[in-house]
Amino acid sequence: MRFLDSIDRDAIAGLLDRDEYFWLDLADPGKDEIAALDDVFSFHALALEDMLKRGQRPKLDDFGDYMFLVYYGAAEGDQSSEIALEEVHAFLSGGYIVTAHQGRCAALEEARERLEAKTPRSEQFVIYRVLDGLTDTFFPVLDGLDERMERLDGEIFDRPLPSQLEEITALRRELVALRRVVTPQRDLLARGVDDILEIPGLEADSRNYFRDVYDHAIRISDQIDAYRDLLAVTRDAYLSVVSNRLNQITKQLTVVATIFLPLSFVVGFFGQNFKWMVEGIGSEADFLILGVGSLVLSVIGLLAWFRRGSYL
């Protein structure tokens, strides 16, 4: 099996004449490369147009002798996003597989290394390696999301902060982005595996392997749905903890205000400018007993009432 990373017209013509299976992998194809693919393979114009437009929905289009596939993998993103989706366009045929993507695609590089290390048993097995490699890239990403959610749960109960709510929102957006491609890919594999196996020229000997890819897609989809539910619980827990803390603060402020209420009354009442109210206080002992003592007794009485009513 031959691997090509550029459009070599002579080499491709020779491989097609000898009916020798090959894999052509293109990184960042432009209009010139798309035009060359049209000249060499005569691909349908709609499929070539889709190759120039990124952000396609996962799909599998049948064009008779070949199929056009849009499939996604996942990788760690940059500082602006924790997850980066890798969009791969592929032409599947009994004589070749042509893949195109933007930049470097680690999943395809790993699949190529594995195929080079061990000769594939059939053409179908090459397609399986490509789909399996792209599908399995979602598992490390989901493991990373799981760790972030566990860490977030612990931090929320230790000390809730507004930044945690922002992270919950960011995680929710990332899960929505993953679900937007994972669910169509799962459905694509459910109904499209049989169509791939019936491509003219492919030896039908890898059905069980494709079922394994479909099983992985189901697991990924189920994990994403479970994480969305857990994230909703985490958000509710954050709001509940914040609400409880607010209640505690309100309770403490209410206790303080209630304690100072009788003190303000006593001080204000005896502070009135009437001689007959204070003429009996003629010594320091009278001031301590009647003035300070009444304030202390008021505080002690309120504290006893708070404890008896379970306010403290």
The fold of 2-243 is: Beta Polymerase; domain 2 (3.30.460)
Looking at the chain, the whole-number percentage of residues with pLDDT higher than 70 is 87
DSSP string, 72-110: EEEEE--TT-SEEEEEEEEEEESSEEEEEESS--HHHHH
The predicted structure's pLDDT at residue 96 = 92
Q: How far apart are CA 295 and CA 12, in angstroms?
A: 99
Q: How far apart are CA 261 and CA 228, in angstroms?
A: 49
- Antiparallel, parallel or unpaired: β 66-76 and 22-27: unpaired
Amino acid letter for position 273: N
The predicted structure's pLDDT at residue 282 = 64
Residue-wise pLDDT for 56-106, tens only, equals 999 999 998 899 999 999 987 765 566 889 999 999 998 999 999 998 899
Residue-wise pLDDT for 164-200, tens only, equals 889 898 899 999 999 999 999 999 998 888 888 788 7
Residue-wise pLDDT for 276-294, tens only, equals 556 666 666 766 666 677 7
- Antiparallel, parallel or unpaired: β 59-62 and 66-76: antiparallel
Q: Residue 25: which H helix or E strand, with range?
A: strand 22-27
Mean pLDDT of 122-144: 91
| 274 pLDDT above the threshold of 60 | no
Using CA atoms of 107, 110, 112, 114 in order, give the dihedral in degrees to the nearest 10. -140
DSSP string, 262-310: HHHHHHHHHTSS-HHHHTT--SHHHIIIIIIHHHHHHHHHHHHHHHHTT
| Residue that wins the pLDDT comparison between 248 and 160 | 160
Using CA atoms of 198, 199, 202, 206 in order, give the dihedral in degrees to the nearest 10. -50
Evaluate whether 294 touches 302 at the Cβ level (below 8 Å).
Answer: no
The predicted structure's pLDDT at residue 79 = 55
Going from N- to C-terminal start, the domains of the chain cover: 2-243, 271-308
pTM of this prediction? 0.77
| Residue that wins the pLDDT comparison between 18 and 250 | 18
| 146 pLDDT above the threshold of 80 | yes
DSSP string, 189-210: HHHHHHHHHTSTT--S--HHHH
